[in-house]
Structure 1
Amino acid sequence: MKIVITGATGHLGQQIVNQVAQRVNATEITLGVHTPAKAAQFSEQGMHVLPLDYRNQDSITSVLQAADVAIYVPSKSHDSFSRVTEFENVIGAAEKAAVGHLIVMGFIADQVNNPFDLSAFYGYVPRRLAGTDLSYTILRNALYADPLVPYLPELIERHNVIYPLGDASLSFISLAESAAAFAQVAVTPALWTQNMYTLTQERSYTMPALAQVLSDVSGQSIGYAPVTLKQFGEMYNEGNEGHMLASMYAGGAQGLLATVTDDFRKIMGRPAQTLPDFLVAELARQA
């Protein structure tokens, strides 16, 4: 089996590589990366590392050539137009390279009425794939739980969760759990009969409930005092990401980031790790 993974040096991509490597021999894994030097540790394990430029369809085609399974993790661009252009190159390359099965990362903020800056891209993905002859699976992630860990000291200092969500709730999944699901789908053809899975923990959290979880795991009192969307965007505009983040929580305030499913259980045969258990384990690991 030849499994190709793109975006293999990113946060999710690296964990997908590690999970796939637990299921197949390293020599069966090919990685398409923008900077091969950053994947040296994978090359040393026997994986094939090839340069990949999402802007060049021929570059993608050469990496995907004759792949039994290809896992596409999008680049970290902040607008839908760039990602749709990139995705069109991936689709064309997958067709030319005769990819057996394409696995694509999605996100729950893909609704037609979602103001999130990237919702157009995530909504485009299933519609575009449905119009191809490719065999494919989309894995829609909930919000990653991981950023809550480095964010916790700031929330303790503020004594409050400040997400502008109002009464709405958020659902989460950890990077590790998402990666495990990607790898399991990649090596389990029986799971390919379902075109889309949504990876979440088995409950969502209102902001007071999230504040209580963070209080419990930290031993500090954390409440809920939301800022405005404008304030949030200005506060977290590092790398010009402020508007994108604020637009995501604008969708969240409409209840569009609260999706909960048991799809992770269907894939892995067990429930996803709960948010409190994840946070406790991560804080202990970093202590």
Structure 2
Amino acid sequence: MQYTITGATGHLGQRIVNALAKLVPASTLNLGVHTPSKAAAFQARDMTIKAVDYHDAASLTAALAGSDVFIYVPSKSHDSFSRVSEFENVVGAAEAAQVGHILVMGFIADQVNNPFALAAFYGYMPCRLAASSLHYTIIRNALYADPLVPYLLELIERQNVIYPMADQALSFISQSDSAAAFAKVATTPALLKTGRIYTLTQNRAYTMPALAKVLSAVSGAPIGYQPVSLAEFSALYNQGNEGHMLASMYAGGARGLLDTVSDDYQLIMGRPAQTLPDFLAEHYRPATR
């Protein structure tokens, strides 16, 4: 079996590669990356590195040749049009390369009534795959818990969670748990079912007061909930022009569209995902303040 992973030097992609390396020989892993020099450590472990440009059909098709399982992690962009355009190239290249099975990363904010800037892409994905000639499986992630760890320092200073979420809840998954599930599905024929959509979440969702309570317990600092407006949130976190995209996600959350809870992680891994309090307690270090 030959496995190809794109986005292999990104936060999730690296974790997927490392999780796969625990289950299959490193020599069966082909990593599609935009900048090969960033994957030198993986190459030293006997993995094959291939330069991939999502907008260059020839390089993408060549990188996917001989792939029994192709794990597609989308590139980071802030609008659905860019991601749909990329995905069209990916689907076309996967069909041309006659990929055995494509395993695609999705997200829970994919509803038709979700104002999230990337919801159209995530909603388009399963429809487009169904219309293709590919065997496919989708794994939808909840919000990543990982960014909460460095963000805790700011929340301690603010003394409040400020997400514009009203009285609605958020569900989370850690990147490590997500990567482990991707690797398990990719290497387990009984799980790699055509048309199957898995959703990865922890065992509960958190309203903002409940989230603040968890963050307070982990940090030992008083943290409450005082939301800012969507416009304020967008302006506060507009580094890299991401403000609108992030605010639009919480606009969907305020409509109750980010509170999905699923037992699919338990189904895949045979154990529950790490809880949010346990994850934060493991990774937060007060000394970093």
Q: Same fold (TM over 0.5)?
A: yes
Matched, 1:114 2:114: yes
Q: Which one-letter code corresponds to 1:209 in the other structure?
A: A
In the alignment, which residue of structure 1 is the partner of 2:180? 180
Q: Is the Cα–Cα contact under 8 Å of residues 213 and 224 in structure 2 kept in the other structure? A: yes
Q: Which one-letter code corresponds to 2:100 in the other structure?
A: G
In the alignment, which residue of structure 2 is the partner of 1:89? 89
Between the aligned partners of 1:201 and 1:58, the Cα distance in structure 2 is 39
In the alignment, which residue of structure 2 is the partner of 1:212? 213
In the alignment, which residue of structure 2 is the partner of 1:134? 134
Find the residue that maps to 1:103 and give its secondary structure.
strand
In the alignment, which residue of structure 2 is the partner of 1:46? 46
The verdict on how the C-alpha distance between 1:85 and 1:21 changes in structure 2, with shifts beyond 3 A counting, is same
Find the residue that maps to 1:9 and give its secondary structure.
coil
Matched, 1:4 2:27: no
In the alignment, which residue of structure 1 is the partner of 2:148? 148
Unmatched 5+ residue regions in structure 1?
Answer: none
Between the aligned partners of 2:267 and 2:100, the Cα distance in structure 1 is 22
In the alignment, which residue of structure 2 is the partner of 1:256? 257
Q: Is the Cα–Cα contact under 8 Å of residues 219 and 286 in structure 2 kept in the other structure? A: no
Deviation at 1:66, TM superposition (A): 1.6
Percent of pairs with identical residues: 67
Q: Is the Cα–Cα contact under 8 Å of residues 141 and 178 in structure 2 kept in the other structure? A: yes
TM-score, length-scaled by structure 2: 0.98
Between the aligned partners of 1:206 and 1:130, the Cα distance in structure 2 is 35
Deviation at 1:132, TM superposition (A): 1.5
Q: How many residues align?
A: 287
Between the aligned partners of 1:59 and 1:72, the Cα distance in structure 2 is 15
Find the residue that maps to 2:284 and give its secondary structure.
helix
Q: CA offsets, 1:75-110, max 9 Å, x none?
A: 001111111011011101111111111000000000
Between the aligned partners of 1:83 and 1:69, the Cα distance in structure 2 is 21
Between the aligned partners of 1:271 and 1:86, the Cα distance in structure 2 is 33
> Is 26-35 or 191-200 further displaced after alignment?
191-200
Deviation at 1:72, TM superposition (A): 0.2
Q: CA offsets, 1:167-219, max 9 Å, x none?
A: 00000000000000000000001002261000000100000000000000011
The verdict on how the C-alpha distance between 1:237 and 1:177 changes in structure 2, with shifts beyond 3 A counting, is same
Q: CA offsets, 1:8-40, max 9 Å, x none?
A: 010000000100011111100000000000000
Find the residue that maps to 2:258 and give its secondary structure.
coil
Find the residue that maps to 1:172 and give its secondary structure.
strand
In the alignment, which residue of structure 2 is the partner of 1:238? 239
Q: Is the Cα–Cα contact under 8 Å of residues 171 and 204 in structure 2 kept in the other structure? A: yes
Q: Which one-letter code corresponds to 1:10 in the other structure?
A: G
Between the aligned partners of 1:162 and 1:27, the Cα distance in structure 2 is 46
Find the residue that maps to 2:192 and give its secondary structure.
helix
Deviation at 1:286, TM superposition (A): 8.0
Between the aligned partners of 2:105 and 2:47, the Cα distance in structure 1 is 22
Q: Is the Cα–Cα contact under 8 Å of residues 31 and 50 in structure 2 kept in the other structure? A: yes
